[in-house]
Amino acid sequence: MHSRRQTRAITVRNLQIGGGAPVSVQSMAKCPTTDIDGVLEQTRAMASAGCDIVRVAVPDEAAVRALKTIVKESPIPVVADIHFDFRLALGSIAAGVDAVRINPGNMKRDAHLRAVADAALAAGIPIRIGINSGSLERSLLKKYGGPTADAMAESALSCAEKFERWGFTNIKLSLKSHDVQQTVAAYRKVADACDYPLHLGITATGSGLEATLKSAIGIGALLLDGIGDTIRVSLSSSPVDEVEVGVAIVKLLGLRPHGVEFVACPTCGRCKVDLLSYLPAVKERLSGLDADITVAVMGCVVNGPGEAKQADIGIAFSDDDVASLFRKGKRYASGPAREMLEQLVNDARRLGRTR
Ligand code: SF4
């Protein structure tokens, strides 16, 4: 992985984004913001799943009125998502939100943008300049012949430049499209052109495996480049599903403590044991272990001993229902497969408690 891109730090309530802070995970509440109990219930569930920031839609004055209680009771920072009407941003800031997101594609007048920047400056909160390929300024669509990565980058950077001219630099940027390659290209351009922290996401991905993969590929590619300070996985699914995928992405890239990480072979015709049922059983039994360790569960002598030696602890099966256990690169026990599996679980728990 490339070293992390050096970015300015911004603070959303008590959470630092950028400036070397851990990559945070965020999501959106999916019930009407006027349903205060519903928003708070979703937010608490998201926070329990590892979410660092919640964003809520603010489409009207009724939503603005709900914000005060939501902000007061939310366990994590609250961002108001504003489109079209700058007065909703001003109302949200007055209600005490921790940040606002605006979309320069639908908030076009400089006087309106400046009013929001001035209010955010006075309140000491950041603004996300959130570009979507589906709502770019007409002038940019014309200039670039469509919602290209260049058009998205210019939209974000020209809005940031305006804010800078008005003395406001408490900014993060996002540039989302449903197209993975276009999104990645847009973020890379902006990453080269400024040092503002970046909020990563692929938008309108849909649901299921394809949607999850789109986010994992797009966000993962950028994070591997060292680009990205906070992420949101967009799924046509529950916010907790979004958070779980987001947390998995940052954990698997080593950007957050990963807990128990399993290294397991896919099995093939050489495998003589029922690894496909052993693995979920081991996972289940180690699910409560709160420690960063890797546990290898490997099917045969081809790659088993090698992978198991590289893990913190591992088991490699061989023919005739026999297995060996490995720790710190060395084989330390051999015996019947079921006995060795039992010992693996007990030894992994013991190892986890020492971490
Ligand atoms: S470790 Fe052995 S059983 Fe597992 S996939 Fe490789 S060759 Fe097949």
Res. 321: pLDDT tops 90: no
Alpha-carbon distance 233 to 216, whole Å?
Answer: 8
Res. 320: pLDDT tops 80: no
**SS3 of residue 294 by DSSP:** strand
Alpha-carbon distance 90 to 200, whole Å?
Answer: 25
- Compute, in angstroms, the gap from residue 267 CA to the centroid of ligand 1: 5
Res. 1: pLDDT tops 90: no
Burial class (CB in 10 A: 0-12, 13-18, 19+), 251: middle
Instruction: Give the pLDDT mean for 146-153.
Output: 96
pLDDT at 288: 84
Domain residue limits, the chain: 10-252, 260-350
259: tokens are 């807990």
Over residues 264-299, the pLDDT tens digits come to 999 999 998 899 999 999 999 998 888 899 999 999
HSE of 314, CA atoms in CB hemisphere, 13 A: 29
- Compute, in angstroms, the gap from residue 265 CA to the centroid of ligand 1: 6
The H or E element containing residue 135 is none
Mean of pLDDT over the chain: 95
Alpha-carbon distance 273 to 294, whole Å?
Answer: 21
Res. 204: pLDDT tops 90: no
Q: Is the Cβ atom of 271 under 6 angstroms away from ligand 1? A: yes
End-to-end CA gap in the chain: 25
Q: Which atom of ligand 1 is nearest to the CA of 316?
A: 1
May I ask the CATH class of domain 260-350? Answer: alpha beta
Q: Is the Cβ atom of 279 under 6 angstroms away from ligand 1? A: no
CB-CB neighbours of 306 under 10 Å: 14
Q: What share of the chain is helix, strand, coil (3-state, %, to 5)?
A: 45, 20, 35
Res. 353: pLDDT tops 80: yes
Over residues 35-66, the pLDDT tens digits come to 999 999 999 999 999 999 999 999 999 999 99
- Compute, in angstroms, the gap from residue 272 CA to the centroid of ligand 1: 10
Alpha-carbon distance 10 to 171, whole Å?
Answer: 7
Q: Which atom of ligand 1 is nearest to the CA of 301?
A: 2
Alpha-carbon distance 116 to 101, whole Å?
Answer: 10
Q: Is the Cβ atom of 298 under 6 angstroms away from ligand 1? A: yes
Q: Which atom of ligand 1 is nearest to the CA of 300?
A: 2
Alpha-carbon distance 296 to 233, whole Å?
Answer: 28
Over residues 69-118, the pLDDT tens digits come to 999 999 999 999 999 999 999 999 999 999 999 999 999 899 999 999 99
**Nearest alpha carbon, ligand 1 atom 7:** 302
| Amino acid at site 91 | G
- Compute, in angstroms, the gap from residue 270 CA to the centroid of ligand 1: 6
Q: Is the Cβ atom of 303 under 6 angstroms away from ligand 1? A: yes
Instruction: Provide CATH code, domain 10-252.
Output: 3.20.20.20
User: Are 300 and 316 within 8 A, CB to CB?
Assistant: yes
Q: Is the Cβ atom of 255 under 6 angstroms away from ligand 1? A: no
What percentage of the chain carries pLDDT values higher than 90? Answer: 87
